[in-house]
Structure 1
Amino acid sequence: MNPWFKKMRVICFLSLCGFLAGVPTNDVNVIEGNSLTLQTGLKANIQSRLHRIKWYFKGNRIAQTIGSLKKICTDDHCEKRFRDRLKLDSHTGDLTVTNTRTTDSGHYKLHIFNRRNNFQKIFNVAVHDLSGVETVSVSVMEGDSVTLHTGVETKHQDRIRWFYNDIHIAQITGDLSRTCTDVQCNEGTERFRDRLKLDHQTGSLTITNTRNTDSGDYNLQIRRFRDVSFSIFVHGFSAAERDEIKRKSLKEGESVTLDPGVIKTQSDVMLWYFNEILITEITGDLSCICTDDQCEYNDERFRDQLKLDHQTGSLTITNTTTEHTGDYHLQIINSRFKISRRFAVIVTGSDWSSSSVTGIHYQYVLFGCTLLLLLTDLL
């Protein structure tokens, strides 16, 4: 080959690399079967008059729009891959792929031309097949906190990403150089504002004060590990119903049962705390109930007054006293998630103690006898 042509080829290659290095790149993740929209960022009211837009997939042009005219799938290869699954917005140029497949994964390049300059953007699309992905189902009550475990310790080269129904909501890297939650990860995500917490050691995600609208699929992606999908269902209750479940008011001497509302599995660990002090524990099919000196605070507050249901984890306090008033915190833990739920118990003292009632009865009898004697003397 002519040395001049070799030199020109190297120059062109280096120029192309330098040009592409400055092209904006977006990572997009979607679950197989869902729709995917790649946005140009153009305003609808000016696009049709000023821009010409072309979309490429792995180097093949798949869609274009010029003014108000649009053309989709310009070659036979495109027809086979995307048959009837591409939609192009003639006003903004946004490209939508419906009923996505894993074969749709790859690089999508956007090229926008106008009279003054050209603009390019690259989308790295990953379509995830969840048929072979571990799926974990979690049911919580509105107002609970739930932690979704990654099951790993982050390494320097790891990147952990969380998605809610394909929306990027949290991310962390091993060196903490790129960490974000909710709005920081996606400016359009207001759903979880100030309710997401990310563990910097493991990447585990905690959702606090859950709402009914938080129900959905949470997809965990860890570089070097397979994906995990969490399907969360948040049971919604009215304020009155929630208050009835989580707030218990009773009188001294009565019994109260705090019911988790779940069926315990062999892998679950259930911990009950009273004012943040551990009082009961169930591990597997074994239980440990705090009694007098077994309790951490060693004040015999619950001596022989706690009963634990091994099937449901329900905690019953018998013969209550005002000392049992306080905050009861339940944690349900397994290898994949942790649920935290709080109950408030208020025990009010009796207005009339048995001793005072006995004293009053004695005074009435004494008064009656005295009155009878006076009437006898008068007669």
Structure 2
Amino acid sequence: MIHLIFFQLYLWCLVGVSGVNAVKSVSVTEGDSVTLHIQRDDEIEWRFGQNNILLAEIKQNNKSTFYDGSAGGRFRGRLKLDQTGSLSITNTSTTDSGDYKVTSTKTRILLSTFSLSVYGHLPVPVFTRDSPQCSSSSERSSKYLLLCSVFNVSRVTLSWYKGNSLLSSISVSDLSISLSLPLEVEYQDKNTYSCVLNNPISNQTTHLDITQICSDCCSCGSAEAGIRFVLSALVGVAGVTILAILVHGFRTRNLHQKKSVQTRATDTDPSDVDVLE
């Protein structure tokens, strides 16, 4: 019986310790405030990061002391403690991401661990066209390669969707880089496409209007037809002009010939005609 009681107490201790020390994940957007909630019953201290940098402590008389000048001064003026021992961080930055640990200053027992993730604001995805220029081939001008792009992002996923179906995606971890994801479409395509940028707590979506994106390049056919029409018109005008010049020259030459004949007939002496008779 005694052994059973001790065994139950042992199990209870294990469950209690695992429950208290379980890591609690918290996520916020950069610039927001966050509070890491605890309920203290002892003197405690808050530490941050892998190096366990001391941030703040609170005594039994509710006297709080802050060491926000540590950690490179990144927390200076942004930390608050309430009577429960909960730690608040204002105007959060992505550099605030990491583990926050609460420890009893008397027993040195780890009471709570928080894993804080601070995500940057997501930009709106933009579209750019990467397609061949207008050409005589209508087949080439009917397809376009569109790029969905975002700049200076980290810990995000960029995706193309056709309706609600995922077509393709690309992800980046902690590096701050620019991302571009291609999609080949046709001008006559009537499907609904959207480009989505997301992280675990927010997203930005831009819907694709193919007629707007391809308005200038999709007019290649009409542009070429217009050029052909203008060239044909010019050729026609040139032909009519040449024909008019030829007709005018022909008429002028005939007129000169007639005048020449009349002149010769007038200049002939009648007496010469009698002599000949």
Question: TM-score with structure 1 length normalisation?
Answer: 0.29
Greater share of residues in helix: 2
| The structure with more radius of gyration | 2
Question: TM-score with structure 2 length normalisation?
Answer: 0.39
RCO higher in structure (CA 8 A, sep ≥6): 2
